[in-house]
Amino acid sequence: MKESIIKPRTIKPIDLAGFSRTFRYFGRSKIQVRTNLGLLSLLFPSLSSRPYLSLLRLAKPFPLICKRSMASDGAEDHRLRRIASSIRVIPEFPKPGILFQDITTLLLDPEAFRDTIDMFVERYRDKEISVVAGIEARGFIFGPPIALAIGAKFVPMRKPKKLPGEVISEEYSLEYGTDKMEMHVGAVEAGDRALVIDDLIATGGTLAAAMRLLGGFSSTDRVGAEVVECACVIELPELKGRDKLGGRPLFVLVKAV
C-alpha cells in the first residue's frame, strides 16, 4: 500500500516559531484541539487538520486563556498573576457546559505552587490556627504544607466509608441527591481554631458541610470548634457559593470570571 503524500504545493510554508507563540495560549487535549481549531485556521489559513495535529508534538502545553481576577486583600501581589496563569481550563469536562479549573498544571509549576502555599501561610501564620481541615480530595494537596508551616494539625474530611475509625458525618445537597462528609471522632476538639481549605468553591455545599461539622455556624454544631476562615485557591463567583457560608469569612486567591 502506498503512503499518502501531501504535496508541498498544497500547503504554504508555516512559521513554526509564530505557531508556537500562538499555540502557547491553547491546551493540548483533544477537546481543546477541537475547540480552538477554527480560530487557529483563521490565524494560519494554510493549516489543514492533518498537519495541525502533527504539529501538536512541537508545541509545549500551556493553559487555555481564561479571564480571571486577582482576589487577595490589598494591593495586587505579583505572585497572584503567576498562580492564575498556571491554572488550566478544560472545556466540556466532566460534562458538557462545564469549564473545569484544573490545578494539576499549577502543581507542575514549582514557583506557582510555592507562591500558593506561601500566600496562605502568610495570611494564617499569626492567627493561632490549631487545625487545618482539608476537604477531599484537593484540599489534601494544599492543607498539609500549610498546617506544617503554621504549626497546626491536619485533619482530612472525607467522603463516606473512607476513614477507618469511628466517624461523625454531615449530609449536604448536590445538584441531584445528597452526599456526606465524614471526620474522625476526636480529631478536632471543642475550642480548636480551624481553617477549612479546598482548591475551589463553586456552590459552597462542601464548605458549608465542613463548617457544620466543625462548629462554623453555631454553638450547637457537631464539634464546637471555631472556624476562623475558609480558604480556596479559586472561586467561581457566579455560582454564589459564599451565600451558603452564613457570612463567615472566605479567602480566595483567584476568581474565575
Give the residue numbers marked as catalytic.
138, 175
Burial group, residue 159, by CB count within 10 angstroms (0-12, 13-18, 19+): middle
DSSP β-bridge partners for residue 196 = 133, 230
Three-state secondary-structure class, residue 146? helix
CA distance 15 to 31: 24
How far from 60 is each of 57, 71, 167, CA to CA, in Å? Answer: 8, 29, 45
CA distance 102 to 227: 27
Dihedral sign from CA coordinates of 141, 189, 210, 136: positive
Listed in sequence order, the DSSP H helices in the chain are 16-23, 30-43, 49-54, 78-86, 104-107, 110-124, 139-150, 205-214
CA distance 175 to 171: 13
CA distance 111 to 172: 36
CA distance 41 to 20: 14
